[in-house]
């Protein structure tokens, strides 16, 4: 819950949460997973969180977060075994006791798309509303393992409202529509496997032109196929020409079984043996007949994945291409240049995942491979049923500009329809082609062109065109068979490459886009923001990041249902898209949160204008199932790079600004400012409040005893710790206002008051015969105040406190920086007779040796070192060394934050003088300190020791 509050409202809100809950536990204690809270404490935290976040749904989010945290992929796998959300809920009585001991849950009714579950309190732990919200948050997650969107949960009956039990109806959708985070991770893993396979494939393609003869090439293809499709046996059986002998290549087969296997394989309709054999044709694109077959073979009973068929088919196509180009290869090897081009292409394509780049590379290699004058790669656009120019090579600039926008639809020429229906290579020239094609050729100044379709399975992905300036020299001469074969080879490599690219693009799309709105998701946004930041570093161009959150979106979800909620999100997405410029990125971060990345919007005025335009666009009602719905939104704006040099910071800051807008009443936008960190308005108010707090006597002190470790935990000192009884916010701890006081300079007055009050208190105690030394904290700023020394002197004079009873704690930073005048100030203080302690030692950078030059009496070791000691026997070498060295330097050592007996024992063993911490006593009011057992009154031994103390002082 602390994390949730932190994410939603920042660190400061966490501090407020802990205080508002008022359960006497520090934040550190609560953050520690090892600690339990009682039912009542939990309840107060629940209530405080809801108030602080001003979000009635806050507790649901905690439930969601907890469920999500526990949904590791193994858990998901386990839950999936159950079959569906209903089955998960059916077992709820077994699940709940594992993480909650105060409620019993039970499935009452389970149907296909809904379930009813009841909850009854264990006696003594009465239900309260926030607990129900929390439960709803958990129940919402039941469908997640099944790739379904969260369930809609309604509480029909509630114990707290007087019903016998709480009764929840959980409804879920049965069609997957969402892609949860962990699925994205899984997808990425799959993607990785795929790319490795593609690389192997392309290495093989590269062999196509590198290997000496077709036979060894085929052998190579067979063994590579085995790397890509894992199976114990692979067989390739082909007949290079119809009447040639059968060439057989295999991996993993014994000689005895091979003949039978090949016979089965080459039968008219070979059996796949119940899915344990994957058999693909080695068929030429050009020729009708098949060369033979390639098979991957498992033991019977083991099956292949459907995806593996297309991988193996890719290898079969390579084998076919090898046979197709067998003759052309002879030729191309003679023209090493050509061979090299094919090789480069195959290698190059392996690393590329995007269609456009692929097309460009392909176009570039066509002239080298086919000796044509210009090449064009066109890709098929299924939606428009047209071929579009994707890349060109070798065209004069003027013509290229002309060619780029060309689209050929099936309506333009019957030839295209024919090509799509029966893909095959063809020759077109200005004489023979239909008027449309002839016109195109003439327009680009070409006489004839070879066109090779890029075909995957049955589908035409595009075409490769190699065009020539000259007409065929001798009319009627046979077309150049070699060139044609090589162009086909290229088209074939291209087909697999494009198919792979499509797969990769599809998966990337799934991982990068939000399934509900089709907007980029937060991953993609992150990429774009990083790009924009890189651009900023290069050319100094700024940009804006908007964080947009719909106000009260949950009302729509709750009243109209999730489907309507999704529809609203889509409509909002559309509005945002039409309002924004083309170059802007509109992303959905999740839930009802959107982010907008606006390049070149680099100043407040411009950003403001756009925000206003957005508000105007969102103000119009949305139509949802015949109803008009009005929705407002809150926007936070961060400008880059001023408000953050990396994606996380920018988004966090925009989010913070958004939260601020929400707090100020929603339906508004606001800019991030650095001061927002401490919650701008609250901070401003707190600052003005602090001014009057001193006059109104709202500050008070608590005192935390410091005990002698060697001597029966006798109280030898106290540390004065300031608190502020704020009229509205209640009791504030120093962390909430000391920083503010330092920033504004008020600290000087605050600490002046603290020293004086503490000194008076010490005198008052002395009258009761209680003489602990009084430690007071000084801020760095205090030391820079020129009147500090004289003020301390006059306080001592006024209160008649003996100076050696006052110890001033300064931070290690003072030693770190140590400008001369600070050192002088410390010496002047020493000269008054007061003691100096270094607080929180170990958190800064100063070495102990540097301390030698400082007039320091006491070293207070920061509690983080003490907390290193967890179990008896823990070594904690730093802590031990600090104690030793401090003693060598003649200082007395205080260990802070002692919380356990184990720590105390360690400290005693290592000779630490004094301890401070919850183990001995918490900070408390002066009167309570006096009531602590002190073993002082009437205890001669302790009194003696005290006298000894004084002497040493
Ligand atoms: P500090 O000087 O390190 O004070 C000790 C803090 O540790 C106190 O928190 C105390 O409640 C806490 N503490 C004591 N024992 C334990 C323990 O066993 N475990 C844990 N986890 N914590 C323990 P508090 O009162 O919230 O004070 C926080 C800080 O505020 C102080 O840290 C000090 O730096 C500053 N501060 C407090 N009063 C004043 C003041 O009058 N003037 C100035 N300038 N700073 C003050
Ligand atoms: Ca201190
Ligand atoms: Ca301290």
Residue 26, pLDDT above cutoff 70: yes
Q: What is the mean pLDDT of the chain?
A: 82
Can you tell me which atom of ligand 1 is nearest the CA of 721? 38
Instruction: pLDDT band for 878, please (50, 70, 90 cuts).
Output: confident
Can you tell me which atom of ligand 1 is nearest the CA of 733? 26
Can you tell me which atom of ligand 1 is nearest the CA of 778? 44
Q: Please tell me the predicted confidence (pLDDT) of residue 210.
A: 54
Instruction: Tell me the CA distances in angstroms from 340 to 288, 347, 369, 696, one per residue in order.
Output: 30, 10, 9, 88
Among 198-212, 525-539, 904-918, name the most confident range: 904-918
From the CA of 809, how far away is ligand 2's center (Å)? 6
From the CA of 380, how far away is ligand 3's center (Å)? 71
Nearest ligand, measured from the Cα of 898: 1
Q: Over the stretch 746-756, which tens digit does the pLDDT of each residue have?
A: 999 999 999 99
From the CA of 721, how far away is ligand 2's center (Å)? 8
Of residues 793 and 656, more confidence is placed in 793
Ligand 1 pocket test, pick from 738, 751, 806, 859 with the greatest ligand atom count within 8 Å of Cβ, gives 738
DSSP 357-393: HHHHHHHHHHHHHH--SEEEEEEEETTTTEEEEEEEE
Q: Over the stretch 198-226, which tens digit does the pLDDT of each residue have?
A: 556 556 665 555 555 677 778 877 887 87
Residue closest by Cα to atom 37 of ligand 1:
721
Nearest ligand, measured from the Cα of 28: 1
Among 564, 429, 425, 443, smallest CA distance to 483 is for 425
Residues above pLDDT 70, as percent of the chain: 81
Residue closest by Cα to atom 43 of ligand 1:
777
Q: Please tell me the predicted confidence (pLDDT) of residue 585.
A: 95
Report phi then psi at 139, rounded to 5: -65, -35
Cα–Cα distance for residue pair 73/185, rounded to 1 Å: 10
Nearest ligand, measured from the Cα of 734: 1
Q: What is the pTM of this model?
A: 0.39
Residues lying with their CB under 5 A of ligand 2, a single-atom ion: 777, 809, 839
With both helix axes pointing from N to C terminus, report the angle between 481-512 and 336-350 in degrees, rounded to the nearest 10. Answer: 10
Instruction: Tell me the CA distances in angstroms from 803 to 767, 785, 799, 893, one per residue in order.
Output: 17, 20, 10, 20
Q: Over the stretch 42-62, which tens digit does the pLDDT of each residue have?
A: 888 888 888 888 877 777 777
Residue 328, pLDDT above cutoff 60: no
Instruction: Tell me which of 98-112, 161-175, 195-209 is least confident.
Output: 195-209
Average pLDDT over residues 110-130: 86
Ligand 1 pocket test, pick from 29, 30, 718, 721 with the greatest ligand atom count within 8 Å of Cβ, gives 721
Can you tell me which atom of ligand 1 is nearest the CA of 702? 25
Residue 699, pLDDT above cutoff 90: yes
Name residues contacting ligand 1 (CB within 6 A).
26, 28, 704, 721-722, 733-735, 738, 747, 751, 754, 777, 779, 839-840, 863, 896-899, 916-918, 923
Q: Please tell me the predicted confidence (pLDDT) of residue 515.
A: 82
From the CA of 40, how far away is ligand 1's center (Å)? 26
Can you tell me which atom of ligand 1 is nearest the CA of 747? 44
Q: Please tell me the predicted confidence (pLDDT) of residue 507.
A: 63
Average pLDDT over residues 117-144: 84
Can you tell me which atom of ligand 1 is nearest the CA of 839? 2
Nearest ligand, measured from the Cα of 916: 1
Beta carbons within 8 Å of 493's beta carbon, 6+ residues apart: 205, 208, 321, 345, 346, 349
Q: Over the stretch 356-379, which tens digit does the pLDDT of each residue have?
A: 888 888 888 888 777 788 999 999
Residue 952, pLDDT above cutoff 50: no
From the CA of 733, how far away is ligand 1's center (Å)? 9
Average pLDDT over residues 851-863: 88
Q: Over the stretch 140-168, which tens digit does the pLDDT of each residue have?
A: 888 877 777 788 999 999 888 888 889 99
Token code pair at residue 162 = 């007087």
From the CA of 704, how far away is ligand 1's center (Å)? 9
From the CA of 862, how far away is ligand 2's center (Å)? 9
Instruction: Tell me which of 216-225, 726-735, 810-819 is least confident.
Output: 810-819
Residue closest by Cα to atom 42 of ligand 1:
777
Q: Please tell me the predicted confidence (pLDDT) of residue 802.
A: 93
Q: Please tell me the predicted confidence (pLDDT) of residue 95.
A: 64
Ligand 1 pocket test, pick from 734, 735, 864, 866 with the greatest ligand atom count within 8 Å of Cβ, gives 734
Using CB atoms within 10 A of its CB, is residue 106 exposed (0-12), middle (13-18) or buried (19+)?
middle
Q: Over the stretch 447-496, which tens digit does the pLDDT of each residue have?
A: 888 899 988 777 888 999 988 887 654 444 445 666 777 788 788 878 87
Residue closest by Cα to atom 45 of ligand 1:
777
Can you tell me which atom of ligand 1 is nearest the CA of 919? 18
Nearest ligand, measured from the Cα of 840: 3
Using CB atoms within 10 A of its CB, is residue 758 exposed (0-12), middle (13-18) or buried (19+)?
buried
Among 287, 475, 445, 314, smallest CA distance to 376 is for 445
């Amino acid at each position: 819950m602390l994390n949730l509050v932190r994410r939603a409202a920042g660190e400061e809100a966490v501090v407020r949460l802990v205080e508002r809950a008022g359960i006497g536990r520090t934040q550190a204690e609560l953050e520690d997973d090892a600690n339990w809270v009682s039912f009542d404490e939990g309840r107060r935290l629940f209530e405080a969180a809801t108030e602080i976040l001003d979000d009635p749904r806050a507790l649901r989010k905690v439930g969601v977060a907890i469920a999500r945290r526990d949904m590791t992929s193994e858990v998901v796998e386990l839950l999936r075994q159950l079959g569906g959300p209903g089955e998960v809920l059916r077992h709820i009585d077994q699940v709940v006791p594992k993480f909650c001991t105060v409620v019993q849950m039970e499935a009452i009714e389970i149907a296909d798309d809904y379930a009813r579950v009841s909850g009854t309190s264990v006696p003594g732990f009465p239900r309260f509303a926030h607990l129900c919200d929390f439960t709803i948050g958990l129940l919402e997650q039941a469908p997640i393992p099944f790739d379904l969107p969260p369930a809609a949960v309604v509480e029909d009956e509630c114990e707290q409202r007087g019903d016998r039990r709480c009764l929840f109806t959980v409804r879920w959708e049965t069609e997957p529509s969402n892609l949860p985070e962990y699925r994205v991770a899984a997808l990425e893993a799959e993607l990785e496997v795929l790319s490795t396979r593609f690389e192997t494939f392309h290495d093989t393609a590269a062999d196509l032109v590198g290997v000496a003869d077709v036979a060894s090439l085929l052998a190579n293809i067979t063994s590579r196929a085995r790397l890509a499709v894992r199976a114990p046996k692979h067989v390739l059986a082909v007949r290079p020409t119809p009447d040639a002998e059968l060439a057989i290549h295999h991996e993993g087969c014994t000689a005895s079984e091979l003949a039978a296997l090949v016979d089965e394989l080459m039968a008219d309709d070979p059996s796949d043996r119940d899915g344990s054999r994957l058999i693909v044709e080695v068929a030429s694109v050009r020729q009708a007949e098949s060369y033979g077959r390639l098979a991957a073979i498992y033991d019977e009973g083991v099956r292949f994945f459907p995806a593996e068929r297309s991988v193996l088919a890719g290898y079969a196509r390579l084998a076919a291409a090898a046979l197709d180009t067998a003759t052309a290869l002879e030729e191309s090897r003679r023209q090493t240049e050509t061979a090299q081009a094919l090789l480069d292409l195959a290698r190059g394509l392996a690393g590329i995942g995007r269609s456009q780049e692929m097309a460009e590379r392909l176009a570039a290699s066509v002239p080298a491979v086919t000796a044509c004058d210009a090449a064009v790669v066109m890709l098929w656009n299924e939606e428009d049923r047209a071929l579009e120019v994707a890349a060109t090579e070798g065209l004069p600039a003027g013509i290229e500009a002309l060619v780029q926008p060309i689209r050929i639809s099936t309506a333009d020429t019957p030839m295209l329809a024919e090509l799509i229906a029966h893909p095959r290579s063809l020759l077109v020239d200005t004489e023979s082609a239909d008027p449309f094609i002839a016109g195109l050729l003439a327009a680009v100044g070409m006489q004839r062109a070879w066109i090779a379709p890029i075909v995957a399975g049955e589908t035409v992905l595009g075409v490769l065109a190699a065009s020539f300036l000259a007409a065929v020299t001798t009319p009627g001469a046979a077309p150049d068979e070699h060139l044609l074969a090589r162009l086909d080879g290229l088209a074939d490599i291209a087909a697999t490459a494009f198919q792979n690219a499509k797969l990769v693009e599809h998966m990337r799309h799934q991982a990068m886009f939000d399934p509900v709105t089709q907007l980029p998701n937060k991953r993609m946004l992150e990429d774009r923001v990083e790009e924009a930041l890189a651009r900023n570093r290069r050319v100094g161009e700024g940009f804006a990041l908007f964080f947009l959150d719909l106000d009260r979106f949950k009302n729509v979800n709750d009243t109209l249902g999730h489907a309507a909620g999704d529809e609203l999100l889509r409509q909002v997405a559309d509005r945002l898209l039409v309002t924004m410029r083309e170059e802007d990125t509109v992303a959905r971060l999740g839930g009802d949160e959107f982010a907008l990345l606006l390049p070149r919007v680099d100043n407040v005025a411009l950003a403001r204008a756009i925000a206003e335009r957005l508000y105007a666009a969102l103000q119009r009602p949305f139509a949802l199932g015949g109803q008009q719905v009005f929705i407002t939104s809150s926007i936070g704006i961060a400008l880059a790079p001023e408000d953050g040099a990396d994606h996380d910071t920018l988004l966090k800051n925009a989010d913070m600004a958004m939260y601020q807008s929400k707090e100020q009443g929603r339906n508004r936008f606001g800019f991030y400012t650095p001061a927002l960190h401490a919650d701008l308005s609250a901070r401003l108010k707190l600052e003005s409040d602090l001014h009057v707090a001193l006059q109104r006597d709202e500050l008070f002190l608590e005192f935390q005893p410091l005990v002698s470790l060697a001597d029966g935990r006798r109280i030898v000192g106290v540390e004065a710790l300031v608190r502020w009884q704020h009229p509205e916010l209640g009791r504030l701890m120093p962390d909430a206002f000391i920083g503010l006081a330092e920033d504004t300079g008020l600290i000087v007055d605050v600490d002046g008051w603290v020293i004086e009050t503490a000194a008076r208190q010490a005198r008052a105690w002395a009258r009761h015969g209680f003489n602990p030394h009084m430690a007071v904290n000084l801020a760095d700023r205090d030391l820079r105040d020129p009147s500090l020394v004289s003020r301390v002197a006059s306080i001592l004079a006024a209160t008649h406190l003996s100076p050696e009873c006052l110890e001033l704690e300064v931070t290690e930073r003072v030693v770190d920086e140590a400008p001369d005048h600070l050192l002088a100030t410390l010496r002047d203080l020493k000269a008054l007779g007061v003691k100096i302690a270094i607080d929180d030692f170990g958190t800064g950078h100063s070495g102990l040796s540097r301390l030698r030059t400082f007039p320091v009496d006491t070293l207070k070791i920061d509690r983080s070192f003490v907390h290193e000691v967890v179990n008896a026997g823990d070594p904690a070498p730093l802590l031990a060394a600090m104690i030793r060295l401090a003693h060598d330097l003649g200082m007395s050592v205080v260990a802070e934050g002692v919380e356990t007996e184990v720590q105390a024992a360690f400290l005693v063993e290592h000779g630490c003088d004094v301890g401070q911490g919850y183990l001995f006593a918490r900070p408390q009011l002066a009167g309570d300190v006096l009531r602590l057992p002190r073993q002082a009154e009437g205890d001669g031994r302790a009194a003696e020791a005290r006298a000894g103390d004084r002497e040493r002082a």
